[in-house]
Amino acid sequence: MKDITPILRSLGLLDSEIKTYLAALEKGPQTVIDLSNQTKLSRQATYVAIEGLTERGLMSSALRGKKRFFAAEHPDKLLVYAKRHETDMQERVKDLERSLPELELQIGGERPIVKVFEGKEGIRAFMADMNLSKAKEFLEMTDLDAMRATLSSQDLKPLRDETVRLGGHVKGIYGGKLGPAAVSAERYVLPPDKSGFKTNLAIYQDKMVIVSFEGKIHTIMIEHAAIAKTLRILFELAFICLPTMKDEKK
């Protein structure tokens, strides 16, 4: 006879319940003592197993004189229980799917730190963070025309001054017309048909910052080592594709 123990386990039955059910099925109605002796379980464990099986509708009892006998229900009931269990599991899967967003918010460990700002204050917060980071190497992709329409030279002066003071170097890709480089820079210019994206993207240390110059200014700061590394790779690939557009200031 095929061992159905794994199947019964998959239905949520404990080993003690499986032993008790199969013993009662094989020998017919028995007392707790008889079942305990046959399964090698303690009386307490046998009582607990019987209770669990009874709740599942897989076992019943009857009083004969002064003794209570416990009997396994027909295997048809086991099939009914299995189908009911499957339905319950499907409902639990749906409940879990609905709960996933809340569970994801509780994930521990390293997670991206995301900050969102509006208006020029966000740009100032971004520049202040760059200065505080003491980073000496920056990657950026900027729509220069959109940036100049939003920020004045005076707005950008604190960042430029601090970059010069630290001996920082910028390596960037630019849309629009280049002006004189105010800091040590390696600059690549996009073809005119690739300009007009109205955004600045900057990478420094483990941080990525996106500034949108279109409509209401939004600044998004994301701190995550893997994301920053991935974008650095994309930048390096872009630099390879733009060798003839290079403009350098050492």
Residue 136 is given by DSSP the state: -
Statement to judge: residues 128 and 97 lie in one domain: no
Measured torsion, CA atoms of residues 107, 113, 117, 120, in degrees rounded to the nearest 10: 180
pLDDT band at 250; cut points 50, 70, 90: very low
Pairing status of strand 218-223 against strand 246-249: unpaired
Q: What is the CATH number of the domain that holds 128?
A: 3.30.870.10
For residue 218, what are the domain limits?
113-249
pLDDT band at 129; cut points 50, 70, 90: confident
pLDDT given at position 43: 93
Number of domains in the chain: 2
Q: Give the predicted TM-score (pTM) of the model.
A: 0.53
Statement to judge: residues 9 and 60 lie in one domain: yes
Compute the Cα dihedral for 35, 39, 44, 46 and give only its sign: negative
Statement to judge: residues 46 and 132 lie in one domain: no
Question: Does residue 247 surpass a pLDDT of 70?
Answer: no
- Residue 28: phi and psi, rounded to 5, are 85, -170
Of 211 and 98, the one with more pLDDT: 211
Query: Region 34-54: what's the mean pLDDT?
Result: 93
pLDDT given at position 228: 92
Q: What is the CATH number of the domain that holds 9?
A: 1.10.10.10
pLDDT given at position 143: 93
In a domain, 108, yes or no: no
Which among 179, 112, 169, 106 is positioned nearest to 148, based on CA atoms?
179
Q: How far is it, in rounded angstroms, from Cα 73 to Cα 235?
A: 69
The count of other CB atoms within 10 Å of the CB of residue 130 is 21
pLDDT given at position 104: 62
Statement to judge: residues 85 and 204 lie in one domain: no
In a domain, 179, yes or no: yes
- Please tell me the number of Cα atoms within 13 Å of 38 on its side-chain side: 19
Statement to judge: residues 230 and 139 lie in one domain: yes
pLDDT given at position 167: 85
Query: Region 222-245: what's the mean pLDDT?
Result: 85
pLDDT given at position 243: 60
Statement to judge: residues 120 and 73 lie in one domain: no
Statement to judge: residues 130 and 244 lie in one domain: yes
Sequence-distant (≥ 6) Cβ neighbours of residue 194 within 8 angstroms: 175
